[in-house]
Structure 1
Amino acid sequence: MTDVTEPTEQPLDLLYSETEDDLRAAVRALLTDRAGHQTLLGRIETDSPYVPGLWKSLAADIGAAGLLVPEKLGGQGASHREAAVVLEELGRAVTPLPYLTSGVVATETLLALVGESEAAAGLLADLASGRTVAVLAVPLSTAPDAEPPVGDSVGGVADAVAADVFLVPRADGLYAVPAAEVSVEAQTPLDLTRPLSRVTPTAGSGTLLAGPGASRAAVRRGLLAGAGLLASEQLGLAEWCLEETVRHTRERHQFNRPVGSFQALKHRMAQLWLDLVGARAAARAAADALATGSADAPLTVAVAQAYCSKAAVRAAEECVQLHGGIGMTWEHPAHLVLKRAKSDQTALGSAGRHQDAIAALVGLEPPR
């Protein structure tokens, strides 16, 4: 008699592969050379925070834009694990690039529509090559389980100023609308490295990609992937904060001793390290669940966002405080990291929204 066993999901793999380490080294070297913090401090006072030519180097030369796209559609055929590594490095450097919005959210949305629309497959090839930047025209704050707005004008759209094409949800489906047919009005964001805009497409413009049902599922898939991999960006922010704070407190002396040797500061940095370990586990779990198509991906993503968004803000706040007076200055990059962490805390659903999602997914009574 043949022993038949039920198939089981593979356990989560939280470790980095050799390929992921190589990708990290390439991305970090690029950002260190072209987009250091001092470069960004100079860019945020200009009309555009984007470093000229950096998107081409990351998206096309390294191939990061096509990591989530299968090879048969012109991409790299990698997974969310590799994309998470890219976002960790972009978080560490607080880099202004439309990777989360185009390389993850828009790409995942289009991947869900490949069987529905030839236009979606063609657009994916353009995104994977780095020639085109696409942005889903919903507010940055939209959670994966939220109903995206379908009005004539949508505010709070991230990276709209860099978009070549917009994915616009309407009552009758999802449309691909060229940037030339969209009015983009800049708004004032908290995070100057991730521009926000009000987007108003021309009435009746664009190409229909899919009907209402398929579009809602596709947008949800895109936002879920975005929320899951945003946790890796938040992990990168927290990593930089801890490393920079440890470095500073080793070099800064009071009473002829490094301030990092004071017991009270040791305890604060030890707590940051514990937060960072938890954030890494949660972010890696979310990336792996998305990569393997786990049925628990919505739950794992919600856990990662509920934890990592708070951990990044705590790390950034401690970074500012433990740097003392210099941490409060415009010349030090700590304020860039703090603003990105605070902005990320409400991006793609707040921590409270994700905690409610966790309660619903596991059948618990949500907190009142």
Structure 2
Amino acid sequence: MEFRFTEEQQMIRDTAEAFLAEVSTPAAVREAMATERGYSEALWQQISQEMMWPALHIPEACGGLGLGFVELAAMQEQMGRTLLCAPFLSTVGFAVNALLVAGSEAQQSHYLGEIASGKTATLAFMAPGSRPDADAIQVTCAADGDGFLLNGEYRYVLDGHTADILVLAVRAPGSAGVEGVSLFVLPADTAGISRQWLPTMDQTRKQARIVLDKVRVGGDACMGAAGEAWPALAKILDLATVALAAEQVGVAQQSLDSSVAYTTERVQFGRTIASYQAIKHKAADMMLKVEAARSAAYYAACIADEALADRPLGSGLAEAASIAKAYCSEAAFFNAGTGIQLHGGVGITAEYDIQLYFKRAKSTETLLGDAAWHRERLARQLLDGGVA
């Protein structure tokens, strides 16, 4: 396992940094976040058609580039630095990984090809007020002839109101925990599906409520064996967690960089405030947080590559994902919060970008489990072998 970028990976990272610096400016972010869609369709098509980012780790046989998870993590970090308003995490971090892990050959060929060509997708699995574990799945799935009937409600679905393709986690009536879980993939305009945008604190990333009312799907929409999908879904969520952690590294890094830039310009008592020892100590603490988080995130990305290839080291995915999410959640929130302090009273005002990073840091902290939840999960893994 190599713990430094190859020349190709460095080039991908540098290209992403340059492109996002041009298209995901503070003005562009503010313009996109003020809309219900939450992103520019023209920019998404540019990302898909010209940059081919959604196809990054889609196999070449399905129209993708066939690269790995480390490349994906490098790109997610740069997206976090610029607060890119686009359905990339929902489409690639969730739905593409779901199709790679649980999709049949026919499903992969069809849906991954559509995503590579510019369609968006997302994964829905959480009921209102739930935690990101098997008990969060409360939408029911009942056999109906040669198909299934789906009923229930999802919350916290990233870009769920705009996605073209939905991956849905459901359970058999009367089942509980990890038993009876199934995955389905289907077009978002299937009859019986209603979707509603839910405004949240973080305006740069949209979430939605999805309601299924007697949605009938064919057997060919089922991903794998019905009722036996929890191991696959657990792996999918861990892969998404690693991608999210890499994004949090970018949030933490930019919070540090923008705060240092501000303190080197802000003059108080005849000198820049960056020259004061207390400010230097704060910046040093922020740098320590982001470097530790980056190490955890890229180690987890290496393990994710192993897991996607079904190699032995991939068995450590759940542990690596929890370590990365715990470190990166705390780093992003600490750095964004400290950045607001270093900006003084103006840090939380709309005029400055640091408040947007603070909101993204908080929303990503709760998404897929906060640091405390992941440390609890780590304890279960280490002490009794549980991974739920």
Report the TM-score, using the length of structure 1 for normalisation.
0.90
Partners of 1:230 and 1:43 lie apart in 2 by 20
> Are 1:113 and 1:209, in contact at CA under 8 Å, matched by a contact in 2?
yes
> Are 2:126 and 2:138, in contact at CA under 8 Å, matched by a contact in 1?
no
Partners of 2:70 and 2:132 lie apart in 1 by 19
Single out whichever of 19-28 and 305-314 deviates more from structure 2.
Answer: 19-28
2:204 corresponds to:
193
One-letter code of the match for 1:177? L
Partners of 1:326 and 1:49 lie apart in 2 by 26
> Are 2:99 and 2:107, in contact at CA under 8 Å, matched by a contact in 1?
no
Q: 1:25 aligns with which of 14, 25, 29?
A: 14
> Are 1:38 and 1:333, in contact at CA under 8 Å, matched by a contact in 2?
no
1:119 corresponds to:
107
Tell me the matched-pair count. Answer: 353
One-letter code of the match for 2:168? V
Identity %: 29
Deviation, 1:145, is 4.7
Q: 1:342 aligns with which of 362, 373, 388?
A: 362
The C-alpha deviation readout for 1:322-355, integer Å capped at 9, x for no partner, is 0113312112111111111000111111211110
One-letter code of the match for 1:344? T
Per the alignment, do residues 144 and 291 of structure 1 end up closer, same or farther by CA in structure 2, a change over 3 Å counting? farther
One-letter code of the match for 2:255? C
Q: How does 1:99-178 map to 2 (within 5 A)?
A: 99-114=88-103, 116=104, 118-127=106-115, 129-139=116-126, 145-151=133-139, 152-171=152-171, 173-178=182-187
Partners of 1:35 and 1:265 lie apart in 2 by 29
1:304 corresponds to:
324
One-letter code of the match for 1:17? T
Partners of 2:169 and 2:31 lie apart in 1 by 36
Partners of 1:259 and 1:41 lie apart in 2 by 28
Q: CA RMSD in A?
A: 2.2
One-letter code of the match for 1:176? V
The C-alpha deviation readout for 1:28-85, integer Å capped at 9, x for no partner, is 2222222211221233233332023121222332121122222122211111100001
Deviation, 1:365, is 11
Partners of 1:88 and 1:75 lie apart in 2 by 21
| Partner SS, residue 223 of structure 2 | strand
> Are 2:194 and 2:210, in contact at CA under 8 Å, matched by a contact in 1?
yes
Matched, 1:216 2:236: no
Deviation, 1:214, is 4.5
1:4 corresponds to:
none
Matched, 1:75 2:75: no
1:6 corresponds to:
none
| Partner SS, residue 174 of structure 1 | strand
One-letter code of the match for 1:102? T
Per the alignment, do residues 315 and 342 of structure 1 end up closer, same or farther by CA in structure 2, a change over 3 Å counting? same
| Partner SS, residue 134 of structure 2 | coil
Deviation, 1:150, is 3.5
Q: 1:260 aligns with which of 267, 270, 274?
A: 274
One-letter code of the match for 2:163? A
Deviation, 1:148, is 4.3
Partners of 2:82 and 2:126 lie apart in 1 by 24
Deviation, 1:21, is 1.8
The C-alpha deviation readout for 1:140-196, integer Å capped at 9, x for no partner, is 997765344142111111111230011122235322232212211111212111111
| Partner SS, residue 87 of structure 1 | helix
Partners of 2:272 and 2:385 lie apart in 1 by 48
Uncovered stretches (5+) of structure 2, i.e. residues with no partner: 140-151, 173-181, 308-312
Matched, 1:331 2:351: yes
Partners of 1:68 and 1:142 lie apart in 2 by 30
Per the alignment, do residues 199 and 214 of structure 1 end up closer, same or farther by CA in structure 2, a change over 3 Å counting? same
1:3 corresponds to:
none
> Are 2:76 and 2:244, in contact at CA under 8 Å, matched by a contact in 1?
yes
Report the TM-score, using the length of structure 2 for normalisation.
0.85
| Partner SS, residue 32 of structure 1 | helix
> Are 2:44 and 2:118, in contact at CA under 8 Å, matched by a contact in 1?
no
Partners of 2:241 and 2:134 lie apart in 1 by 12
Partners of 2:119 and 2:195 lie apart in 1 by 17
Partners of 2:42 and 2:216 lie apart in 1 by 30
Uncovered stretches (5+) of structure 1, i.e. residues with no partner: 1-9
Partners of 1:52 and 1:166 lie apart in 2 by 18
Partners of 1:186 and 1:167 lie apart in 2 by 18
One-letter code of the match for 1:149? I
Per the alignment, do residues 25 and 142 of structure 1 end up closer, same or farther by CA in structure 2, a change over 3 Å counting? farther
1:317 corresponds to:
337
> Are 2:159 and 2:206, in contact at CA under 8 Å, matched by a contact in 1?
yes
Deviation, 1:242, is 0.6
